[in-house]
Amino acid sequence: MSTSIAYPPGRGGATAPRAGDPVAAAAALHDELNRRAAEAEASRQLPDDVVRSLREAGLFSLALPRRLGGREADPRTIVEVVELLSHADPAAGWSVLIGQGAGFLAWLAPEVADEIVAATPAPIVASSFAPLPPAVPAPGGHRLAGRWPYCSVSRHADWLMGAFLAPAPGGPPMLRFGFLPASDWTVADTWDPAGLVATASNDVAVDGALLPERRTADPRTEAAREPGPLYRLSLFTLLRVCLAGFPLGVARRALDEITTIVTRKSRSASRQPLAADPLVQAELAHAEAAYQAARAGVLAVLDELWAQAQRGEAVDPVLRARFAASVQFAMRTALDVVESSFRIAGGGVLYRTGTLQRLWRDLQVAASHVVFGPDSVRRTGQALLGQDVPVALL
């Protein structure tokens, strides 16, 4: 299936990537990702050659600083790439967006980031924000032991950015983030979910790995070492930029699928084409309008946010909260659009071989991510009301 996502002229229908154009590169891979989605789900991870194609196209390096060999793409480009990939196969879109952890190398000292990309050019960096138990102090760093859960693209990642608790003299442990190479951890085969099966979001286990202090940072509170405007966004704002295209791509795919279904299917009793049913027409119109509103809202606030970052300013917390609200609304809208598509399509879509049921399963799992959870939504509302909210969480 070819995508129907509307992009500026010359971008959406590319058959081969143009130099320097990540959206065209994603469009060129779209049909292959779509065709192999069932294969990926059956093996519970993206095929090795698919990951290689995504890496060679620079799509795991959208947020990686240009100085380190990455694309350092603008936020709208990141959203559009993830949207396209998620339209083709939500598991591929999710793997790529989570694999943007290389962007957080911008918070390390330049010489340390240089060492990492010298060892692993265009690295795939998985991440987990759930902290390990307190680390044990060691000469020059920390000894880590424990597990990080939900490490998407775990079987293909070169590095992991994991949260951990660092002992603080005279006070409670402090949260920090550290970068560990794949040789320092093992993948525990824990990922057997209802949806996003092919993301390989397994637990990653460490057993006494040494993490040098120079490979740690706290992007929540520390300024990035790279000067580009992308890194003036906060940790969670940059994460939401990566996530925003996912629900939009899945919603668009559901709308495309149900439009195809209703033009071919008739009611079994009346033989009336579904496309001629006024209730179907009205529900489809509502779902299309909801999707368009959600997408426009994300991009409108994103443009404001990016303009502020390009002026050399730290992005205003209220503007960050508005962007968070738009991304959370996009997820709620996508859930509604897929549910609506189910109501229209009838029982035939319930089989595991059907695309709509896979979209439904993938979206339910994605909606459980912390940025879409009730605590995150509550903090967004508090910030919009002018109440005190930890700025680092916006």
Most confident of the ranges 5-14, 48-57, 348-357: 48-57
pLDDT of 117-166, one tens digit each? 999 999 999 999 999 888 999 999 999 999 999 999 999 999 999 999 99
Instruction: Answer whether residue 68 is part of any domain.
Output: no
Total of domains in the chain: 2
For residues 259 and 208, membership in a common domain is answered with no
- Measured between alpha carbons, how far is 249 from 271 in angstroms, rounded to an integer? 32
Number of Cβ within 10 Å of residue 301's Cβ equals 20
Lowest mean pLDDT among 6-15, 51-60, 312-321, 372-381: 6-15
Does residue 178 sit within a domain?
yes
Q: What is the pLDDT of residue 269?
A: 61
Tell me, yes or no, if the pTM score tops 0.85. Answer: yes
- Per-residue pLDDT at 353 exceeds 90: no
Quick check: is 110 in a domain?
Answer: no
Last residue of a domain, one of 188, 217, 246: 217
Q: Is 2's pLDDT higher than 50?
A: no
- Kindly state whether residue 18 falls inside one of the protein's structural domains: no
Query: Higher confidence at residue 343 or residue 162?
Result: 162
Tell which of 150, 185, 217 closes a domain: 217
Last-in-domain residue among 187, 217, 247:
217
Distances in Å between the Cα of 381 and the Cα atoms of 55, 358, 374, 385 are 37, 31, 11, 6
**Residue 212: which CATH number?**
2.40.110.10
Q: Is there a single domain that holds both residue 200 and residue 333?
A: no
Residue 17: per-residue pLDDT: 34
The domain that contains 267 carries what CATH number?
1.20.140.10
Query: What is the C-alpha separation between 286 and 23, in angstroms, rounded?
Result: 28
Statement: residue 7 has pLDDT above 50: no
Instruction: Please indicate, yes or no, whether residues 246 and 387 belong to a single structural domain of this protein.
Output: yes
Residue 327 lies in a domain: yes
For 278, other C-beta atoms within 10 Å of its C-beta total 7
Do 365 and 247 lie in a common domain?
Answer: yes
- Taking only the tens place, the pLDDT of each residue in 72-105 is 999 999 999 999 999 999 999 999 999 999 999 9
3-state secondary structure at position 247? helix
Q: Which domain holds residue 210?
A: 125-217
Length of the chain counted residue by residue: 394
Judgement on whether residues 332 and 363 belong to the same structural domain of the protein: yes
Inside any domain, residue 227: no
Per DSSP (E only), the strands in the chain are 125-134, 136-138, 141-151, 159-168, 171-181, 186-188, 202-212, 216-217
Alpha helices, DSSP H, located in 265-389: 278-310, 317-345, 355-366, 374-384
- Of 153, 147, 216, the C-alpha closest to 185 is 147
pLDDT tens digit sequence for 26-59:
999 999 999 999 999 999 999 999 999 999 999 9
Per-residue pLDDT tens over the stretch 268-322:
666 778 888 888 899 999 999 999 999 999 999 999 999 999 999 878 999 999 9
Quote the pLDDT of residue 315.
84
Whether 383 and 279 map to the same domain: the answer is yes
The strands making up 136-138's β-sheet, listed across from edge to edge, are 136-138, 141-151, 202-212, 186-188
Q: Is residue 117 part of a domain?
A: no
* Per-residue pLDDT, 268: 64
Statement: residue 4 has pLDDT above 80: no
